[in-house]
Amino acid sequence: MSIIVHHLENSRSQRILWLLEELGLPYSVKRYAREPKTMLAPPALKQVHPLGKSPLVEHDGRVLAETGAIVEYLVELGGRLGTPGNRDAALRYRHFLHYAEGSMMPPLLSLLIIQRLGLLGRPVRGFVQKLLDGHLDWLETELTGRPWFAGSDFTAADVMMSFPLEASRQRGGLDASRPHLTAWLDRIHARPAYVRALAAGGPYVFA
C-alpha cells in the first residue's frame, strides 16, 4: 500500500516529504492550507487524526502521527539513513533525532507567539531569544568538525534538524555569524531529494 502524507503548508510535514524522497519510497500527498485568520491547521485534519495536526501518514491501514515517530517508521521501512554503525555517531543520531522537537522547537514556538502579541510580548522576547541563541551557539560548535549532525554521513537526524534551523534563519536570528549552520542549510537545500520534496509539497517559506 502506498504511503499517504497529509501535508500542511509551511509546516514540519515538509521534512516527511523530503525523507521519502531521500529513501525513494512511493507516496502521494494530500495538501492542506492553513486557516487564513489563525494560521492553524484546518478542521479537515481532525477527520484523519483526533489531534488534527500535521504531519500525518497513512500506511498499511495505520495513521501515524508525530514527526519523530514517523521518521523512525520510514527509516525502518526504507532501510537507510538510520542509526550509524559507529557508536559515537549512533549516540549523536539518537540525540538530534529527539532534540529537534524536544529542545529546539519550544523557544522557536515561544518566539512566534511573542511576535504575534506585539507590544505585549516585548518584555519576554529578549529572554526567549537568549535561550535560542544558546542552542544556536552550541549547534554551531557541533558542526565545526563534521558536515552532518550525526557524523560524516547524512542521516535522518539531519532531516529532523532542518525545520528548527530553517525557522531559526527566518525568525530566530540565525545568520552568517554562524557559518557552519548556514553552510549546513545550504547543503541540505542543494540536495536533489530536497528539491523534489519542495515540488511535491508546494510553496514552503522556510527554504
**Does residue 207 sit within a domain?**
no
- Alpha-carbon span 67 to 16, nearest angstrom: 7
Q: Is the domain of 97 the same as that of 14?
A: no
pLDDT the model gives residue 1? 66
pLDDT in tens, 1-50: 689 999 999 999 999 999 999 999 999 999 999 998 888 899 999 999 99
Cβ partners under 8 Å of residue 137, min gap 6: 178
Q: Is the domain of 69 the same as that of 95?
A: no
CATH code where residue 148 lies = 1.20.1050.10
**Does residue 159 sit within a domain?**
yes
Which residue type occupies 32? Y
- Alpha-carbon span 158 to 188, nearest angstrom: 8
Q: What percent of the chain has pLDDT over 70?
A: 100
Q: Is the predicted pLDDT of residue 112 greater than 90, yes or no?
A: no
Structural domain boundaries, residue 36: 3-81+193-201
Q: How many domains does the chain have?
A: 2
- Residue-by-residue DSSP string for 47-116: GTSTT--S-EEEETTEEEESHHHHHHHHHHHHT-SSS-SSHHHHHHHHHHHHHIIIIIHHHHHHHHHHHH
**Does residue 158 sit within a domain?**
yes
Residue with cell 523512525: 72
Q: Is the domain of 27 the same as that of 60?
A: yes
CATH code where residue 60 lies = 3.40.30.10
pLDDT the model gives residue 119? 85
Q: Is the predicted pLDDT of residue 180 greater than 70, yes or no?
A: yes
For residues 73-78, average pLDDT: 98
Q: Is the predicted pLDDT of residue 122 greater than 70, yes or no?
A: yes
Q: Is the domain of 103 the same as that of 186?
A: yes
Q: Is the domain of 29 the same as that of 106?
A: no
Q: Is the domain of 101 the same as that of 131?
A: yes
Closest CA to 134 of 166, 173, 162, 170: 173
Q: Is the domain of 74 the same as that of 99?
A: no
- Determine what percent of the chain falls in helix, strand and coil, rounding each to the nearest 5: 60, 10, 30
Rounded to the nearest integer, the mean pLDDT of the chain is 95
Q: Is the domain of 64 the same as that of 97?
A: no
Please tell me what DSSP assigns to residue 119. Answer: G
Report the C-alpha dihedral over residues 140, 144, 145, 147, rounded to 10 degrees: 70
pTM above 0.85, yes or no: yes
Q: Is the predicted pLDDT of residue 70 greater than 90, yes or no?
A: yes
Q: Is the predicted pLDDT of residue 207 greater than 80, yes or no?
A: no
Q: Is the domain of 184 the same as that of 95?
A: yes
Higher pLDDT, 171 or 141: 141
